[in-house]
Amino acid sequence: MLFRNLDAITILLTIPAVLWAISFHEFCHAFAAKMVGDPTAERFGRLTLNPLSHFDPIGALLLLFVGFGWAKPVPINTRYFRHPRRDIFIVSIAGVAGNMLTAALCVLILRFFGGAIFSLAGEHGITMIGQMFRINLFLAAFNLIPIPPLDGSKIIYSFLPFSALKYYYWLEQYGMLILIVMIMTGATRLILSPILSVLIGILRLLE
């Protein structure tokens, strides 16, 4: 994986990227929920960029050393949604969109200001922005895996016919267990590869 065998300095430079990636991801969920009428996340103090409000130790460590992980899920109450399927899609895709926006900004910064950053901060400055790009890209891709409780499963839920929802609810009961097994066996890489290819293709439009 991309994040193995990092030296101590690179790990230190990656920590801000991890904190930003998980905080902005969850903030985007909370903000989108508020925009479609659900104040639950805001009431629980999740409409914030403060990493402490979103921090999950295991998920953050996995994100730092493996390249994908998670934060504490943002609470939502679908009873507030005026158009439940549409609004679930909006809230679910918001976190991924936030990470992709950050990755896109990193690409633009390196493209237009890479030389200036290298002159001011040397290789460490370039490394920090590069890790910010990689962490956000991988977090976006990981969350698009269509297994509960990840965002990808909720995005698919928004388009499932009602006759198929019972299978989704069954999978939801065992989603976390399935996800852990996939991470431990390396099966997530098989799903991540095509997702990453699509996301990188989107970012290449900035070139």
Catalytic residues: 26
What residues contact 46, with CB distance under 8 A and at least 6 apart?
26, 27, 29, 30, 53, 54, 74, 75
Rounded CA gap, 67 and 32, in Å? 25
d(CA 117, CA 112): 10
Residue 20: strand, helix, or coil: helix
Q: How far apart are CA 135 and CA 141, in angstroms?
A: 10
